[in-house]
Amino acid sequence: MHSYYTFIALDLARQRVAEAEQARLAALGHPAPSRGTTARRAIARFALAVARAADEDLRVSLSPR
């Protein structure tokens, strides 16, 4: 019975190694984000937050009371 559990554990470990290898290879296919990309994303997120807040203010001011 112990050999069965050992086989299951080894098979699970092999699957985990294969998943880690796939993730590693996928990460190599995408270059690391540059500082410019990070800054553009931060600015875009801030602009989106401002637009949503303005939209919410407009919705509140136009709603019937």
**Quick check: 64 pLDDT over 70?**
no
Residue 47 DSSP SS3: helix
Buried b (16+ CB within 10 A) or exposed e, 7-45: eeeeeeeeeeeeeeeeeeeeeeeeeeeeeeeeeeeeeee
11/3 Cα distance (integer angstroms): 12
pLDDT over 90 percentage in the chain: 57
Radius of gyration of the chain (CA): 25
16/3 Cα distance (integer angstroms): 20
Domain residue ranges of the chain, discontinuous segments joined by +:
1-30, 34-65
Q: What pLDDT is recorded for position 12?
A: 95
- Global pTM value: 0.45
